[in-house]
Amino acid sequence: MAQVLCLGVLFCAQTHEPLKISERTRQPNLNVSTSRKGRLNRLLKPHKLNIEVSPHRAVSAVRLMRIELGGAFADLLNDKGKGSGDNEMAYVERTLGFCTRELKDQDLRLVTDIVGGTIRWRRYLDHLIISLCHDKNTYKSLEPLLLQILRIGFYEIVKLNMPPYAVVDENVRLAKTALRPGAGNMVNGILRKLVLLKEGKSLPLPKVEGDDRAQARALATLYSHPVWMVRRWTKYLGQEEAINLMIWNNNDPSFSLRANHRRGVSRAALVTRLNELKVPHQISLHLQEFVRIKTGLQTVIQAGLLREGLCSVQDESAGLVVSVMDPQPGESIVDCCAAPGGKTLYMASHLNGQGMVFAVDINKGRLRILKETAKSHHVDGVITTIHADLRTLVNNSPVKSNKVLLDAPCSGLGVLSKRADLRWNRKLEDMEQLKNLQDELLDAASLLVNPGGVLVYSTCSIDPGENDERVAAFLLRHPEFHIDPVDRYVPADFVTDNGFYLSNPVKHSLDGAFAARLIRAL
């Protein structure tokens, strides 16, 4: 346990993020006595370059450690594809006691794939690891680094179909070098068992049978999601649609780019630039400024298109929320929970230099980033940031408007394909807390709406409890508001029976998002 805490503190000191230790890592660690001294010695020794250890596996293992133990967000969009930017190798050195060669582009792609995939398939992979350990206590006693090495090996063999001999050899070498020879021997034995089972098509996987609870547990393992999510989606969507949603979440995500016309960049110009960069793309079917890409995002980042403000990474589902808002030149708009600011910037671009978006957020640091981004997008002249908690701001606020957007904090259950780690960070009890917060914020936002004005409530969730039910509860408390159907603002395929906007990941191949347009009586 001391080793786990030591590692957790080390990572938190680097990332300045709160320590979050999972239930698994709270279990007794039977290997602490054999490894603690060696790890301390490695931290004190001068760091050295190791060219024999696979660099992408070493980096992947350390990044996975940081995500699970240090609370680091699995952000695969950072500069150069390195989750920690220039600090990537510093994390590797401090964790493993050695550094590897610099990552090439192919290595970076593998790190992105392995980290994202290993996180997505964590429950599935851990089920196989436990089965091959033949003892759950053995699994619980695995050191965090050893567990990540095993997960990487299992993912490479089972999901990436990499050559088994290379996967076994490379992960054994990593375990021996970073931990000790005995750890390498353990990795060797377990991975070789896995190879034999896979070749014999006899992986120890659960069958979907029994009562609803048993079926949910089996599906949660097979498709690697928390049991509570499976049960909730089966209740709302039915089992077949729940499975389709989990399959979508486990696929590699696609991304959309929004051309920034305030910088003089049309979609046609963005397409030309993508062709020059040889990035495959598709034109959005729903929004004229958007282009969708499946691969090549790192190329776009490295070319500086985002840094220079020529385009933004923004899902079309979020763009359609702005369509529901329908911002027009000369209008004054309040964005109640603005940061990180994707919708704020898009709304500001619609104003064509006339009007104002008041961006309210409780996070001062994220507002500062929003202001800097607004400058690079040439929309800073129509954005005013307000650092405040919306719930207290409304008591004396001089800011009222005919258009108010509340993009509320939510579970994020609509963006699990991009946020690979989010499924493991959400609990069922979170949903109740979020619903209470959403109700409070809706009540507060309604006070900023002028008579006859518009309040748009949106989330990046597909859960009815956060969407339709919150709107229904709000209308009971606020009969002065009524629903304005969104069919004038978004394609009919996105309009629900209640007149709300909803993007369905499986149906529309977009992130899941929701928006309700509400009008205050005169």
340 is in an annotated binding site: yes
Does 45 carry a binding-site annotation? Answer: no
Report how far residue 59's alpha carbon sits from residue 110's, in angstroms, rounded to the nearest whole number. Answer: 10
Residues counted in the chain: 522
Q: Is 338 labelled a binding residue?
A: yes
At 182, give phi and psi (nearest 5°).
Answer: -60, -35
Residue 337 marked as a ligand binder? yes
End-to-end CA distance of the chain: 62
Q: Which of 12, 311, 336, 460 is catalytic?
A: 460
| Nearest Cα to Cα of residue 182 among 48, 56, 38 | 38
Alpha helices per DSSP H over 377-453: 390-396, 422-425, 428-446
Closest by Cα among 93, 9, 109, 133 to 56: 109
State how far the Cα of 201 lies from the Cα of 156, in Å rounded to an integer. 16
Q: Give the integer Cα–Cα distance in Å for 520 and 400.
A: 13
**Catalytic-residue membership of 460:** yes
Is 99 known as a binding-site position?
no
DSSP 8-state assignment for residue 255: E
Cβ-Cβ contacts under 8 Å for 181 (sequence gap 6 or more): none
Ligand-binding annotation for 341, yes or no, is: yes
Phi, psi angle pair for 411, to nearest 5°? -70, -25
113 marked as part of a ligand binding site: no
Structure tokens at 226: 């928390």
CA atoms within 13 A on the CB side of 481: 28
Report how far residue 431's alpha carbon sits from residue 437's, in angstroms, rounded to the nearest whole number: 10
Q: Is 304 annotated as a binding residue?
A: no
Point out the annotated binding site. Answer: 337-343, 361, 389, 407
Annotated active-site positions, please? 460
Binding positions for S-adenosyl-L-methionine: 337-343, 361, 389, 407
